[in-house]
Chains A and B, each alone.
Chain A
Amino acid sequence: MSQADTNPHDPGGLLEPLPGHSSRGRLERILRRGEFAVTAELNPPDSANPHDVYERAAIFDGWVDGINAVDASGANAHMSSVGICALLTRMGYAPIMQISCRDKNRIAIQGDVLGASAMGVQNILCLTGDGVQAGDQPGAKPVFDLDCMSLLETIRIMRDNSKFLSGRKLTSPPNVFLGAAINPFAPPHDFRPYRLAKKIAAGAQFVQSQYCYDVPMFRDYMSRVRDMGLHKDCFILCGVGPLASARTARWMRSNVPGVHIPDEVIKRLEGAEDQKKEGKQICIDIINEVKEIEGVAGIHVMAYRQEEYVAEIVHESGVLKGRRPWRKEPNPADELVAARMEEILEEPRQIPHELAGAATDSEAAG
Chain B
Amino acid sequence: MADQPTKTTQASLNKKAATKTAYKPSGVSPTGRKARSFAIRLWSVRHSRLLEWFYAHFADLFLLLHPMWNAIGYQRAEAPVKFVEKHVKGFLFDCRMCGHCVLSSTGMSCPMNCPKQLRNGPCGGVRANGKCEVEPDMPCVWVQAWSGAGQMRGRDNILAVQTPVDQSLRETSSWLRVTASAAARREAEATPGAPQ
Binding site for B on A (CB under 8 A): 76, 101-102, 106, 128-138, 140-142, 144-150, 153-154, 165, 181-183, 186-188, 190-191, 194-195, 197-198, 201-202, 210, 247, 250-251, 253-255, 257-258, 260
Contacts and interface: CB of A to CB of B under 8 A. Distances in A.
Nearest to A252: B6
A194 B14 CA distance: 38
A210 B124 contact: yes
A67 B7 CA distance: 29
Contacts of B9: 255
Given A131-B125, A133-B29, A188-B122, 13 more contacts: A102-B116, A131-B116, A134-B11, A135-B10, A142-B116, A144-B116, A147-B120, A149-B119, A183-B124, A187-B130, A198-B120, A254-B6, A258-B123
Contacts of A106: 164
A147 B159 contact: no
Nearest to B164: A150
A275 B181 CA distance: 63
Interface residues of B, number: 42
Interface string B111-131: 000011111111111111010
A186 B126 contact: yes
A188 B6 contact: no
A187 B143 contact: yes
Most central of A106, A131, A140, A146 by chain B CB within 10 Å: A131
Interface of B: 1-4, 6-7, 9-11, 14, 29-31, 115-128, 130, 133-134, 140, 142-143, 146-147, 158-159, 161-164, 167
Contacts of A195: 120-122
Contacts of A190: 146
Contacts, number: 135
B167 A128 contact: no
B128 A147 contact: no
A131 B116 CA distance: 7
A259 to B, nearest CB: 9
Contacts of A135: 10-11
Nearest to A165: B164
The 6 closest A-B pairs by CB, nearest first: A183-B124, A257-B125, A149-B120, A136-B10, A131-B134, A258-B124
B128 A148 contact: no
A149 B116 contact: no
Contacts of B140: 187
Most central of B3, B30, B119, B146 by chain A CB within 10 Å: B30
Contact of A198 (B31, B116, B126, B161): B161
A251 B125 contact: no
A197 B158 CA distance: 12
Contacts of B122: 186-188, 191, 195
A130 B132 CA distance: 12
A146 B164 contact: yes
Contacts of B143: 187-188
Given A136-B11, A183-B124, A198-B159, A147 B117 contact: yes
